[in-house]
Structure 1
């Protein structure tokens, strides 16, 4: 009986143990599905790493970005919990990318079309007060009372004395008419009037009558008050009736003739107030109204004259003095204009592009949009079409957004159609990949050399004088420290540039085509991963794209005029790299004002001697050195 009792106790303990096990394990029934299968225990969420500049990168381990070489940062898994619906054409940026790229936005608003126009000009005489003092009597100059240019004369002042046989004959006629004045009074009046027509005054004629003697010489008096601008006679000259003795300018009022560029002419209206200063009279502000706008634009200078009239009672304003003026102009035919900052526009010559912020609650993203620009307002543009008030556009760091769009194969400034594989020349750089297909490895989307050769290059190469580059130009001349390897690779690119420049100076289009191809090959060997500094990385991203595009354009044509046009853009962008990073050589930045149809253009050289690549043998020595870039 005792034996059975022990079995009962053991069974009870086993039963109690089973119950306690179920309680502490959460219950056995919840661990089994209705179909008898057990739940699988899920592994912890794998931590992902991304690039602050290229958020499309997803890596399971920390390391370097396969695109730019930046250190990867942890991806916040919680940020994916409440993801918003993102359209296919949106460029999504992380908070880190926004901060590192210094991306800023501006609200699109309606405003009046106003512009501050700055003008340069000179003081000129009032053309309505320019006079020619002539002689009304033929004869010989016996004396000059006014001897030099700039001398002031007043009306009635003696200016020259002349000997005139005709005057002697006229005096004889006068004396004869005096004797018969009682019989023939009309004859006396006629002879006296003859002398008046020769501009002799009544006082001069009365003096001749009182003297009773013929005067062989007579003084000619000034008809005007002013300053002698030009003396046209010398002592002893024989003159005819109507010969010019002096050119005289009355400066009691003057014109200030300003020069307005053709883009500013539509803003300037008659009656606009001009506030201006005269360089020769510091500390004093002058004010006047526009009384005339030249209807013709100069074919050489591309400017039109704008006239302001000013009283000058003290003669303080002298001809040819320099003036600097400002007009706060307003377009009268435009109301409630849509305006955006110039820095928001990527301008390619034919297309104007902005990136519009998508109004998501949590996600920061932008979309590509082409717009139509109107008038230039100085720091702003009027937008004719493409934007509405209340939208938000990126106004700083726009190139960084566009670079991300190119890397993703979406619509961008260099790829307006958004065709896959057309990245505007960015993907051919060493270590660059699109990172768009998460199923592929980091290097799976690299563009091959063959694709690079067949890649379409946009003909809408940006003009560096007009493009709205978001790079901080105030820091462009500040040298950035980079590795020796990168500097050496950039030096190889620069050496090919010098060979290209020398070919253009010799008017050798075929050689230029060859060296442009060599420059492209050198660009392929420049490793962006060597740039670990964020500022250096951002600058090179922008510069390399333009250098590649310009060099490729030169390599595809043997038209030397087209080559020189692309060489202008190539020089503008490569010089930025030389200034920023150096090329282990002293470089001379030179400028020719007659290049590019008198718009002027820069180039770089290793010699201070001028060899002009834009004009070649026609004007080989045209230009001068503007900057010396130390190694």
Structure 2
């Protein structure tokens, strides 16, 4: 008893502690069935309701854990907040991480006036209504040339040649005979003077002949027009016939600027449209004029029509054959509140135009495939005749990546309009990238896949179908690609100045690629989109010598040039190589003719870092 009294307080404290543990266990429900061990990533939930998904392909929903059937990554539990949002079966769901890695951008569909800025190339030409042929009205032999060279300026009434004419001598003798009897026969006198006038002798010349009283064996021919001599057709001593052309004369007080318009631009151009243009030979000066004529015929060889602009030329600054760059801001008068979308949002396959429309979910990012009907071409935009409404959101960048994801999960896509499961060739971590060759990579249960790598590669399945183009176009694209390799080599050597110079050269070769060689509408539009991105990235590289900034632009240049090479080919075997550490460990691709790694993103720091991921054949 004394022992109990001595340790009574300890027994009371122990009893209170035991009671507290029992109460806590009661209210917590035991904690044995819904435990979450963070260190082991162990999830224990109701097996009847738990779904599993892929972090890179959220459209995948499995009832059991395992690996993603698309990419082979380990599935993770689907959170309740994600599962509660209704996702249609035709939606292509993407995570925010995948959106960023694929550089997917969207644009709100809007209503706008049907306006288009048309760029034209042309040349200055003489006004055809002010072209004159100076002829001789008197037969004879040229004794003297007052105008000696092409380009000389002449004025109406100016002496141009002196001739000897037996017919003129006879006519002068007749005049002198009629002068003697002009009081008796004034009609004969008037007729003889009129004969000389018909030979274009002026009254002053005839009066001078009468006053002298002598027959002039030689007479001067005067110019009927003012202007510049375009062509001289006679030499000293030539015998000329009546009506023979002596000189071609052009009055340049007004000139024409003859522009060439592509057939797709012709419906936009109307008479009296204002044209602003610059002359390459006169930098810093801008001229304006109005369209006075549009050629009703399109050239069968060049596929262009002539557009004429008349311009006053008081100072004769505009000379024939000068090059001109014109711009017309044109509007379709019969179209109001048109639905327009950027060209980069459209995928072409045959006659079908396809866009991916963003679904307005609160938490999930997803897109749906939609075919639309396009109207007029507005330059950087298309008018949509049907299929979209104002306020909807469409993908404008990274569209091929969305389409590739749709193909992999069997949804409708550009190359697979009916939908259906695509055979991926997946076998324990092997992925078929759509070209018929399995790219295998061992993925242990605890390993993770390079997401940026996967996102870039899935885009290729939509691009591997080679378009048929002319060898001339391939050669022009090959010049662009060869200059791209020079940029790559400069970055390998950490030479920003060289990369800047070569980027400028690439822009020059890009400007020489003749888009008229792409007669297929789909190929034409693909190249317009791709070339715009290549131009933007190359221009950015050419405007800075900062090597790291250049490498950032080189990543985008490589991605878009890769699309062009895959679509059109450049008659060379190309290796597509990947650096996992580029762009702050997001990874980036580049193209090379050698399989050995020479890393343009790391340069001398890690020259051989990277792997060869695929090849693009001729």
TM over 0.5: yes
Aligned to 2:577: none
Q: Which runs of 5+ in 2 are unaligned?
A: 1-15, 37-41, 45-50, 490-508, 528-567, 574-590, 595-618
The 1:110–1:244 alpha-carbon spacing in structure 2 relative to 1, beyond 3 Å, is same
Match of 1:385? 386
Match of 2:85 in 1: 84
Secondary structure in 1 matching 2:149: coil
CA distance in 2, matches of 1:353, 1:108: 14
Q: Is the Cα–Cα contact under 8 Å of residues 129 and 250 in structure 1 kept in the other structure?
A: yes
Cα gap change, 1:571/1:197 in structure 2, threshold over 3 Å: closer, same or farther? closer
Does the C-alpha gap of structure 1 residues 221 and 271 become closer, same or farther in structure 2, counting only changes over 3 Å? same
Q: Are the aligned partners of 1:114 and 1:331 in contact in 2 as well (CA < 8 Å)? A: yes
Residues 451-495 of structure 1, C-alpha deviations (whole Å, 9 max, x = no match): x9xxxxxxxxxxxxxxxxxxxxxxxxxxxxxxxxxxxxxxxxxxx
Identify the residue that residue 46 of structure 1 maps to in structure 2.
Answer: 43
Q: Structure 1 residue 542: deviation in Å?
A: 3.0
* Alpha-carbon contact 2:123-2:323 (below 8 Å) kept: yes
Give the Å deviation of 1:131: 0.3
Per-residue deviation, 1:46: 2.2
CA distance in 2, matches of 1:281, 1:268: 26
The one-character-per-residue Cα deviations of 1:252-288 (angstroms, maximum 9, x if unpaired) are 1111111111111111111111111111111111111
Q: 1:290: Cα distance to partner?
A: 0.9
C-alpha distance in 2 between matches for 1:58 and 1:567: 49
Match of 2:101 in 1: 100
Shift of 1:53: 3.6
Give me the TM-score of the superposition, normalised by structure 2.
Answer: 0.68
When residues 87 and 66 of structure 1 are mapped into structure 2, their CA distance, relative to the original with a 3 A threshold, is: closer
Match for residue 171 of structure 1?
172
Larger displacement relative to structure 2 (208-217 or 40-49): 40-49
* Secondary structure class of the residue paired with 1:26: helix
Alignment of 1:53-132 (within 5 A): 53-56=56-59, 67-68=70-71, 75=76, 77-78=78-79, 80=81, 83-132=84-133
2: CA distance, partners of 1:406 / 1:194:
91
Please give the per-residue CA displacement for 1:303-350, whole angstroms capped at 9, x wherever unaligned: 111111111111111111111111111111111100011111111231
Cα deviation digits, residues 406-439 of structure 1 (max 9, x gap): 1110101111011334x7xxx35xxx58xxxxxx
**Residue 546 in 1 paired to residue 463 in 2?**
yes
What SS does structure 2 have at the residue aligned with 1:604?
coil
8 Å CA contact 1:346, 1:352 repeated in 2 = yes
Deviates more, 1:589-598 or 1:160-169: 589-598
Q: Is the 8 A contact 1:46 1:60 kept in 2?
A: no
Change (3 A) 1:57 1:544: same
- Which residue is 2:325 aligned to? 324
Match of 2:437 in 1: 524
Residue aligning to 1:250:
251
Matched residues in 2 for 1:23 and 1:226: separation? 113
Q: 1:349 maps to which residue?
A: 350
Per the alignment, in what secondary structure is the counterpart of residue 463 of structure 2?
Answer: helix
* Cα deviation digits, residues 534-553 of structure 1 (max 9, x gap): 66654443345433x33xx9
- d(CA) in 1 for partners of 2:26, 2:441: 56
**Structure 1 residue 52 displacement after superposition:** 4.7
**Structure 1 residues 166 and 337, CA gap change in structure 2 (3 angstroms):** same
Matched residue, 2:570: 603
The answer (yes or no) to whether the contact 1:259–1:304 under 8 Å persists in 2 is yes
1:52/1:97 contact within 8 Å kept: no
Alignment of 1:547-586 (within 5 A): 547=464, 549-550=465-466
C-alpha distance in 1 between matches for 2:267 and 2:441: 46
Tell me the equivalent position of 1:407.
408
What do residues 565-590 of structure 1 show as CA deviations (whole Å, max 9, x unaligned)?
799899979x979968999xxxxx99
What secondary structure sits across from 1:603 in the alignment?
A: coil
Q: CA deviation at 1:42?
A: 5.3
Counterpart Cα distance in 2 of 1:21 and 1:127: 107
For the structure 1 residues 177 and 529, does the alpha-carbon distance in structure 2 shift closer, same or farther, using more than 3 Å as the test?
farther
Unaligned stretches of 5+ in structure 1? 1-15, 32-38, 434-440, 453-519, 554-561, 584-588, 607-627
> Which secondary structure state, in structure 1, belongs to the residue aligned with residue 196 of structure 2?
helix
Q: What's the CA shift for 1:137?
A: 0.6
2: CA distance, partners of 1:202 / 1:227: 26
Spell out, residue by residue over 1:488-507, the C-alpha distance to the aligned partner (whole angstroms, 9 max, x if none): xxxxxxxxxxxxxxxxxxxx
Partner of 2:284: 283
Q: In the alignment, what sits opposite 1:231? A: 232
CA–CA distance in structure 1, aligned partners of residues 247 and 82 of structure 2? 92
Matches within 5 A, 1:423-462: 427=424, 432=426
Cα distance in structure 2, aligned partners of 1:152 and 1:378:
44
Counterparts of 2:309 and 2:65, CA distance in 1 = 69
Q: Distance in 2 between matches of 1:364 and 1:222?
A: 80
Matches within 5 A, 1:441-520: none
The 3-state SS of whatever aligns with 2:284 is strand
Asked if 1:363 corresponds to 2:364, the answer is yes
Structure-2 change in CA distance of 1:50 and 1:565 (3 Å): farther
Deviation at 1:357, TM superposition (A): 1.2
TM-score (norm 1): 0.67
Partner of 1:367, secondary structure, is strand
Distance 1:273 1:349, change over 3 A: same
| Distance of 1:542 and 1:24 partners within structure 2 | 55
Q: Distance in 1 between matches of 2:410 and 2:172?
A: 101
Question: Contact between 2:53 and 2:77, CA under 8 Å: does it hold in 1?
Answer: no
Aligned to 1:457: none
1:55 deviation in Å? 2.9
